[in-house]
Structure 1
Amino acid sequence: MSPSAAPDLPIAGVPTGHSKWTTERVLDVRYWTPAMLSFRTTRDDAFRFTPGHYARLGLAADDGSIVWRPFSMVSAATDHHLEFLAVLVPGGAFSSALARLRVGDSIQVERASFGFLTVDQLAAGRDLWLLASGTGLGPFVSILRDPSVWRAFERLIVVHSVRRSSELAYRTELTTLADEHLLVAGAARLLYLPVVTREQGATALASRIPRLIADGRLEEAAGRQLSVLASRLMICGNPELALTLRQVLGARGFATSRRGIPGQMAFEKYW
């Protein structure tokens, strides 16, 4: 899925005298489920982004026109390739083109990157909670691939909620990421909490994230309390999750950044 865009989002500059996009080549396609896939493309040397940003991708539709959709980068900002996580939407023009994607195919990547779901939008804190549903996990993988994030916090807590265990993309990487050689110097400890809601017994936590917060089970599982003083939260997923958590967390005193005042939570809406 793709994050919704707004016309006044911060943009990584586009060089003058260039087209707004580059033509890249697909390097790899991986299907996690029949409807969920990740794919890698080549990367223009001038393309820059901050972990948590997204870019607009263009694919040829059935009628030959180019269909554009925004997708968060999953790759690290320093990788020589770009990586994305997506779900196929039945009947969707972009999804139809994406389902045909094969290694060696061409894809357009807009030169600009966008978004507010970046760590620098948050006030300094001790614990970083990354709360995702479905493909909303994508930008968090990019953030966790950034060694500076591991130095900025004491604890990184990843909560990924899906319906089926097969949808737990990047599960192996997330359970072993703390051992990566580039990250071992960081002070943070990583805790990965998968949540499967429609397969009884698949994970220790099986309710939706807002309910897990409301009844205290998420804090218990993490061994950390959610506090305005120490906790910073980033939320990415379906609109219902974003709306509910904005209300639940807002009632507990958490706020988003505004007028140059860093907040304790940041959102990216998918769908």
Structure 2
Amino acid sequence: MTEWIIGNVKDIRYWTKNLFSIILNAKVNNFIAGQFTKLALKINGKKIQRVYSYINSPKNKNHEFYISNIRGGKLTPYLYKLKINDEIMISKKASGIFTLNNINICKNLWMLSTGTGIGPYLSILQDNICFKKFQKIILVHSIRYINDFNYLNIVNKIKKKYNNKFKVQIILTRNNNINSSILYGYIPHLIKNGDLEKKIGIKIHKKDSHIMLCGNPNMIKETRKILEIDKNLSRNLLNKSGNITSEQYW
């Protein structure tokens, strides 16, 4: 049963019309980078709760969550309207196995995400442990428009610090601007036709690669199928090690 505590909103960042972040203070238990927790509010006399991944490093006591405001949603429109110092319920204990603890050390770690699915990767990357376990980390972030990359400043700071150990590839699915550093399309198709590997300059091999997938369930399903069939990769399970670890966002 969930043990709830009260947190206080320290800040809210409104990135776009539908994307925002909540930063709060709460005395939660220690968590592992990549894990999620529950946030809840009392709405019309009922406790409404949803699961969100920590974005901050476990070392950071300001807990941050990247949220998409769902039109007609039962919780997110209320989270969107919160003010600084407002109270919010948060589960004391984190959950989830989308962490490096469940991934065998290999040469290349690929982090593939869509939308707010970049959240757990930001926590993992800011924790820094990943750069000791893997030779190369490749973050691939798929968004509609370039303005939707709301944590680009954090990613650029990490890239500056780790230089050649960290590669970042932006994929846009809507506007087709001519920019040689950006890919256009969808993650599964860009893996299928080889464009993603060509752009990164690194091949996905069973012997030296692990793929993390987070975000849109359709992206995860299609990408996993291509990786299993075309690359001969297998799912990473608690009772069986593999090359593909995934976490769906709805």
Query: How far apart are 1:64 and its partner, in Å?
Result: 3.2
Determine if contact 2:172/2:183 at 8 Å carries over to the other structure: yes
Task: Give the corresponding residue for 2:118.
Answer: 137
Q: 2:170 aligns with which of 180, 191, 194?
A: 194
1:118 aligns with 2:99: yes
Alignment of 1:231-242 (within 5 A): 231-242=209-220
Residues 20 and 239 of structure 1: is their aligned pair in 2 closer, same or farther, counting only changes over 3 Å?
A: same
Task: Give the corresponding residue for 1:99.
Answer: 80
Q: 2:41 aligns with which of 42, 50, 59?
A: 59
Alignment of 1:39-188 (within 5 A): 39-44=22-27, 46-61=28-43, 63-180=44-161
Ranges in structure 2 where 5+ consecutive residues have no aligned partner? none
Query: How far apart are 1:216 and its partner, in Å?
Result: 0.7
SS at match of 1:130: strand
Tell which deviates more after alignment, 164-173 or 65-74.
164-173
Determine if contact 2:145/2:172 at 8 Å carries over to the other structure: yes
Determine if contact 1:116/1:266 at 8 Å carries over to the other structure: no
SS at match of 1:28: strand
Determine if contact 2:102/2:238 at 8 Å carries over to the other structure: no
- The letter for the 1-side match of 2:144 is R
SS at match of 1:158: strand
Task: Give the corresponding residue for 1:25.
Answer: 8
Alignment of 1:196-211 (within 5 A): 196-201=172-177, 203=179, 204-211=182-189
Sequence identity, in percent?
A: 27
TM-score of the two chains, using structure 2 as the length reference = 0.94
Deviating beyond 6 angstroms after TM superposition, the runs of 4 or more aligned structure 1 residues are none
Q: Following the alignment from structure 1 to structure 2, what is the Cα–Cα distance between the partners of residues 167 and 21?
A: 32
Q: Following the alignment from structure 1 to structure 2, what is the Cα–Cα distance between the partners of residues 92 and 53?
A: 23
Could you list the per-position Cα deviations for residues 9-42 of structure 1 after superposition, in whole angstroms to 9, with x for gaps in the alignment? xxxxx9xxxx811100011111111100111110
- The letter for the 2-side match of 1:210 is P
TM-score of the two chains, using structure 1 as the length reference = 0.87
Q: Following the alignment from structure 1 to structure 2, what is the Cα–Cα distance between the partners of residues 173 and 232?
A: 23
Task: Give the corresponding residue for 1:6.
Answer: none
Q: Following the alignment from structure 1 to structure 2, what is the Cα–Cα distance between the partners of residues 43 and 24?
A: 4
- The letter for the 1-side match of 2:79 is L
Q: Following the alignment from structure 1 to structure 2, what is the Cα–Cα distance between the partners of residues 52 and 256?
A: 18
1:217 aligns with 2:195: yes
Compare relative contact order (CA 8 Å, sep 6+) and give the higher one, 1 or 2: 1
